Every structure is written in C-alpha cells, then in structure tokens.
Structure 1
Amino acid sequence: MEKIHIHVLSDSIGETAELLAKAASIQFKPQLIGEIHRYPFISENYQIDNIIKNASEHKNLIIYTLVKSESREYLANEAAKKNIPAIDALGPIIKELSQLSGLEPKREIGLNRKMDDEYFEKVQAVEFAVKYDDGKDPRGILKADIVLLGISRTSKTPLSMYLAYRNYKVANIPLVPEVEAPKELFEISSKKIIGLTNDPQTLNTIRLERLKELGLKSYSTYANMDRILTELDFAHEIFAKLRCPVINVSTKAIEETASIITSIISKNIHK
C-alpha cells in the first residue's frame, strides 16, 4: 500500500496543525503513514502552488491553519482541482466561536507566537522572583518592576510569586533592625517600591504558628511582642524615608493585595 504523506501548511509556525496530524496518524499502523511535511509562514499563492504540485504526485493529505480568508479559499480551490483532500483545521472552530459570540475573529497572523512570548516572559518573571527572593541579591532591586519591603511574615514571597505569574519582575527585601537597608533602595524611583506591614497581634499569632512548625520554643524572640513592635517601627521609618505607599496585609487575601499593588504601580507609571 502506498504511504500517505501529510502536508501541513500555516501562515505561522505550523505547530498546531502538525500536532493534529501526529495525533491522528498515531491511530493507524506506522506503515500506512509516510512523512509529515511542515510548511510554515505561508503568505503567497505561489508557495501554495508549489506545495500543491508536490502533493499531487503521491497519495497525500493537506492540513492547514491559514488565518487569511483569501489564502484559505485559494488553497481549498487549488487542492480540489487536483483531487487532494485538504482540511481546514481552524476554520470550523473559528466559525462556531464567531457564531456563538456574535463577534468577528481578529484574523491576525502569529497570535500563537505572541502567546508563546507571553509564556516565556512569565517564566522569566518567576525565575526572577526566585532569584531575588528574601533579599538574596540586592542588585535585583535595580532590575525589578516592583520591589516589596517588609518585616518577616508580611506575605512578601507569596506576593512576589503571584505577581510573577502576572509577568511582573519582583524583588522582595526583608527589613531587620540590625541590618541596614540596601543602598539600592535609594537609587531607584519610590514609585516602584511597595511597603508591606501587618498588625502586631496578627504577626504574633502567625509567628507562633511558624515556630511550632519548626519545632522551636514559643518564647523565642521571633514571636515576642516587643520585638515585633520594634521591627514594625523600623520598617515604617524606612517606608517614610523612601516615601513609598504602604499596604497592611492583615485582613487581605494575596489576590486582593496584588491587585492593589498593580493598581498603584500602573498609576505611577502613567504619572
């Protein structure tokens, strides 16, 4: 039996149509399917003509994901002339979505690549948050979109990760009375800095729980109320010097605090 060759055409990279071709091919015996030929970035009719010519010489199937209506129609017509089956992989889905929504599709080439770019930006933002978490490297302050400051247990790390998933590069810096605040904080615009604080009693409760988790004594200085008040006073002195906005996280979910932060940053950017 002559093997069936599959020709995948796209005005973008063509990964979607190729994955569909492979998913369908695997349902048949390997000896039935020949090669899957991928032709990316199809934008001109002469490219389609060349592929049709090659495909007409053997038993072939064409699968395409072309956004432009003219290209889709041209390919369908030319394939029909040569009796080559051609499947529009996206057309029926786009048509149904358009009918259900009452909206017209964008018909923009390369939107998948834009989505991929956004994904990689998100990965980079997460890697950034991990690298510059908890003041590991103060140089991150100079590179960050957002810098979070606060004493221990003010949600700095979870907020950094949440904001990273929204494509913000975030560095967070712990404030400790015995340690001088990084000089880099005073080298950037305060519009990028957000101070985080918490209620003393809430901090006491959270820190006591943390000590239990670690198997440490509850009378540790870490959860001592006087110590907590000292840390809070120190943090607010730094916030005042930097003239940065301050958010009390005691009654707020991570999502709510993150929304406030992004709102502040967005307004600051456009000032």
Structure 2
Amino acid sequence: MDEIRLIIASDSVGETAELVTKACTSQFNQLGNALETIRLPYIETPENIDEVIAIAREQRSIVIYTLVRPDIRKYMKEQLEQYGLKHVDIMGPLMAELTNELNESPLNEPGVVHKLDEDYFKKIEAIEFAVKYDDGRDPRGLPKADIVLIGVSRTSKTPLSQYLAHKRFKVMNVPLVPEVDPPDQLFEIDAAKCIALKIDPTKLNAIRKARLTQLGLNDDANYAQDRRILEELEYFEKIVSRIGCPVIDVSNKAIEETANEIIKIITTNNRYDY
C-alpha cells in the first residue's frame, strides 16, 4: 500500500494529539511500515500554520491538530480546506460542545493541563535540548548535556535522544563520520556521560539498504556498501577507544531496551538524580 503520512500539529508539545493518533493507528495491522508520522509543536502563529500547510501539501499528509486559540484554529481550518488537505481537529469540536453546555468561554491557553507541573517543564526543556543539539549541530551543547550519544549513521541516536528526553535527560548525539573530525569538546567532557552505540555490520547494512529503498534510492549506494560500513565502524572504534566511554551493542535491541540500559549506566556513573 502507499505510504500514509501524518502531521501532528499542536500549540503545545503535541503529546495529546500523538497519543490519540497512536491509539487510532495501532488498530490497523496493514499500516505497518507504511505509516510516517511527524510532530510539529508550538504552532502559535499564522506563519507557523503556513509552514505546516507547506509540508502537508508537499508530502500529501493528513494533518491532525490540537489548537486551543480559536483564531489560530480557525485559520488552520481555512488553510486546510483551501488546499483540500485531509485533517482532524481533535480539540475543537469538544470545546465547542462544552462551551455551549456550560455557557462559559474557555481559557484558550495552550498547555494549561501542564501549567504547574514541574516535572513537565523539565521534560519540555529536555525535549527542546534534544532537538536543538540533534546530530551534533552545535558542540556548545556537549558540556550541558546529561548524556552524549555517539555512533555511526542509523544506530538510532535521534530516536534514543527523544526517548530519553521524555525521561527528563538532556541528550546530545554526535554522528561519527571518517571524513569529519568530531568536535574537540567531545574529548574534553566527562567520559562517564558518553555512551557509544555499537552495531553489527551485517545488521547495519540491512538497515541502511532499507532506508535507501524507503527514500526511493538505489540500495547499492556507497552508504550501504560493506566496505564503507567497515570503514565507518573502524573509525568508530578508534574514537571510542580515545574517549574511553561505555559501549552498548544496539544490533538487536529495541529503543526502550537500549534506553533503559543507558539510564542504568548514567545513573550509576554520574549519580544522576533520576
């Protein structure tokens, strides 16, 4: 079947819409790998909505949104209908019914449910940190991170960063590529908060070929060649040996399993207050 793309847009972090979406999509076995979901948080202005619409039009996505402010929600609906995009408004209909039933205007404040939740703010801070410092974008994040993940491409660094962020850890991930020297700061920070993600070359080859196919590219590209993979893994071992950090083999582990192992290592080594 053709790939189904979903965009989750929210004026907060999008947890509500994502939970509803997961509950719905889990009821359809045939979706499998044909489902692609992206979450776009903090949609607060017409300009933000225009960006959502542009992505939805380009990818022919279904837009699922939770927008509290009526003016922003109205603009979203108008733009979606103007371009004939499929969409689901999760909060709007119920808020309208409650307004009529209670004869009371809603607060129209995004994120009220989490307003006084200190743990929630820690989580959001960690999520924003993971996004800002994803893929080694800014080495200045290394000293600030609770956890630094290093590994070659397709070792689940980004998904792990997001998963751990939801556990309130500030995570930065750094890709290791032979042609690009890692930032100097990587060798200056405490090695105890670094985790190297190791993977079996055969497993990595299969993952990369599947990724190339998913992107509509030829699976015999250099990116998925055995020679290239062995070169990258040899470089990985060289960097890890220099840092002297713990190593986790992610070859046959689920994200949750790897994340739990990382948390155990970090809390033991750093006495992190988790």
TM bracket, shorter-chain basis: 0.5 to 0.7
Q: Which residue of 2 aligns with 1:252?
A: 253
Q: Does 1:185 align with 2:193?
A: no
Deviations 1:111-149 (A, max 9, x none): x99961110111111111011111111111111000000
Question: Following superposition, which runs of at least 4 residues in structure 1 exceed 4 angstroms of deviation?
Answer: 23-30, 112-115
SS in 2 for 1:129: helix
User: How far apart in 1 are the matches of 2:139 and 2:131?
Assistant: 13
Find the counterpart in structure 2 of residue 224 from structure 1.
225
Q: CA RMSD in A?
A: 2.2
C-alpha distance 268-118 of structure 1, shift in aligned 2 (>3 A): same
**CA offsets 1:148-200 (integer angstroms, 9 cap, x no match):** 00000111000000000000000000000011111011111001100001100
What are the equivalent positions in structure 2 for 1:230-249 lying under 5 Å apart? 230-249=231-250
Q: What is the aligned partner in structure 1 of residue 125 from structure 2? A: 124
Unaligned runs of 5+ in 2: 1-96, 105-112
Aligned equivalents of 1:24, 1:259: Cα separation in 2:
41
SS of 1:195's equivalent in the other structure is strand
* TM-score with structure 2 setting the length: 0.58
* Aligned residue type for 1:234: Y
Partner amino acid, structure 2, of 1:142: P
The CA deviation at 1:235 is 0.5
Q: Give how far 1:270 is off.
A: 3.2
CA separation in 2, counterparts of 1:152 and 1:28?
53
Aligned partners of 2:114 and 2:120 also within 8 Å: no
TM-score, normalising length: structure 1: 0.58
What SS class does the counterpart of residue 215 from structure 1 fall into? coil
Output the amino acid matched with 1:136.
R
**In the alignment, does 2:185 pair up with 1:166?**
no
Q: How does 1:1-271 map to 2 (within 5 A)?
A: 27=101, 116-270=117-271
**Structure 1 pair 29–221 and aligned structure 2 pair: CA distance change class (3 A):** closer
Distance across 1 between alignment mates of 2:102 and 2:140: 56
Give the SS at the match of 2:149. strand
How many Å separate the matches in 2 of 1:28 and 1:258?
A: 45
Tell me, in whole angstroms, the C-alpha distance in 2 between the residues paired with 1:172 and 1:225: 24
Q: Give, in whole Å, the separation in 1 of the partners of 2:232 and 2:220.
A: 17
Q: State which structure, 1 or 2, has the greater radius of gyration over its C-alpha atoms.
A: 1
Q: Say if 1:174 and 1:26 are closer, same or farther in 2 by CA, change over 3 A.
A: same
Q: Which runs of 5+ in 1 are unaligned?
A: 1-22, 31-111
Q: 1:57-106: CA deviations, max 9, x gaps? A: xxxxxxxxxxxxxxxxxxxxxxxxxxxxxxxxxxxxxxxxxxxxxxxxxx
Partners in 2 of 1:134 and 1:214 — Cα distance?
19
CA distance in 1, matches of 2:206, 2:215: 15
May I ask how many residue pairs the two structures share in their alignment? 168
